[in-house]
Amino acid sequence: MNLLGMLDVSSSALKAQRVRAEVVAANMANAETTRTPDGGPYRRHHVVFSEAESSSFGASLLGHASPAFPSAGLLKPLTMQGTGSAARGGVEVSGVIEDQGSPLMRFDPTHPDAGSDGYVAYPDINPLTEMVDLMGASRSYGMNVAAVQAEKGMLSNSLDLMK
């Protein structure tokens, strides 16, 4: 794998971990949401990763940049048209799925969303689990930033050798 191929892998991991952190933040923000537009409590979301089909960094250097990433479709994977010589091994977000577990039922007859029995359906979101997921995403992001810095140093040293 060439140096640009390593940048492809690291940049795809940075994008994937950013999405993972955003999903965890949304889960934490909605931990007490008992009513959504779809009805019922908020459901925890999980990020699904898969191997990237093509690289993005090398393709953009060669002038094959993709259209802008739409802000409304933030959780959709970004796909690029590669040049055929792109290195494989990156990661992409293949989807964000909802947890199908049952909600937590708490007795609170004064709550506006309480059923006839006085119980309210709350999301099954554990703040400790979400913090562990956020720490994992943050550390993975940090390690990939360090890898990009090391790769930039190698590229710089390679250019210095050619002088």
CB 6 within 8 A of CB 147: yes
Cβ atoms 41, 108 nearer than 8 A: no
Residues 6+ away with beta carbon under 8 Å from 18: 141
pLDDT at 115: 92
Report residue 14 CA to chain centroid gap: 9
Nearest 5°: the CA angle 144, 63, 13 is: 15
Give the whole-angstrom CA distance, residue 12 versus residue 140.
12
Given this model, what pLDDT does residue 30 score? 95
Interatomic CA distance for residues 44 and 103, integer angstroms: 10
pLDDT confidence of residue 74: 40
Residue type, 7: L
pTM, two decimals, is 0.73
Walk along the chain (163 residues) in steps of 10 and give the mean pLDDT of each run: 78 94 96 91 94 60 40 39 51 92 94 94 94 96 94 89 83
Q: Under a CB-based contact definition with an 8 Å cutoff, are residues 151 and 3 in contact?
A: yes
Q: What amino acid is encoded at 25 in this protein?
A: A
